[in-house]
Amino acid sequence: MTPIFHRKPEAQGQGMTSQRARDRLVERLRAEGGIRDERVLAALRSLPRHLFIDEALSSRAYEDTALPIGNGQTISQPWVVARMTEALIEHGAPRKVLEIGTGSGYQAAVLATLGLEVYSVERIDELLRNARRRFRNLGLNLRSKHDDGRLGWPEHAPFDAIIVTAAGAALDSALLDQLAEGGTLVAPVGDANSQNLLRLCKTPDGVQREDLGKVVFVPLVPGVV
């Protein structure tokens, strides 16, 4: 008879920041949130979201909710991160991605975990320094800079995909200019009272636009801090 070995409970982790908590979150996203891309679900399962927020909030890390990260910013709800990532790679994984709004670094880390070449821009220096420390600790290789995200990162354009993690009243033309032909841009657009998640695909005949539904994001603010 083949012996059956069981891991000790300590190895499995029983707390609110354990692998088991991540697994439960992923199953909720699949069953209730309609997330179908197994690549995205695997990335969220592997990433320790509790390391991207303040330790005092770590017990809430695997709730499907946005959480404050300081400076008036939030780490996005896991469903939103999963949905935006899924929309970005649905028609083929891009090689080079520009992210506007590094924030905690969690969305950039998800993209890097998928094997994408990530360039991330953040306007708040303190948030960027914290995110860079997390990237180093997790061994993630991506590029980031402190700048006004609305300007993009023209030195490294064109990008196969662009993801914007703050909402503006309209999309900045500078970002569309930096999107490669055939590329995809995913961004929330609207004011504080009404925002929609849009997916834009740049084709030889113009830009195709698709509305992915209602969302709530912090505003896309000009300048740097």
* Active-site amino acid positions: 76
What separation in angstroms does the CA of 29 have from each of 45, 55, 67, 78, 168? Answer: 11, 24, 17, 8, 27
Q: Do 166 and 124 touch, CB atoms closer than 8 A? A: no
Within 10 A of 38 (CB to CB), how many other CB atoms are there?
A: 11
Q: Which residues make Cβ contacts (< 8 Å) with residue 30, sequence separation at least 6?
A: 36, 41
Give dist(CA 50, CA 169) in Å, integer: 31
Q: What does the block give as tokens for 38? A: 């197994």
Q: Which residues make Cβ contacts (< 8 Å) with residue 31, sequence separation at least 6?
A: none
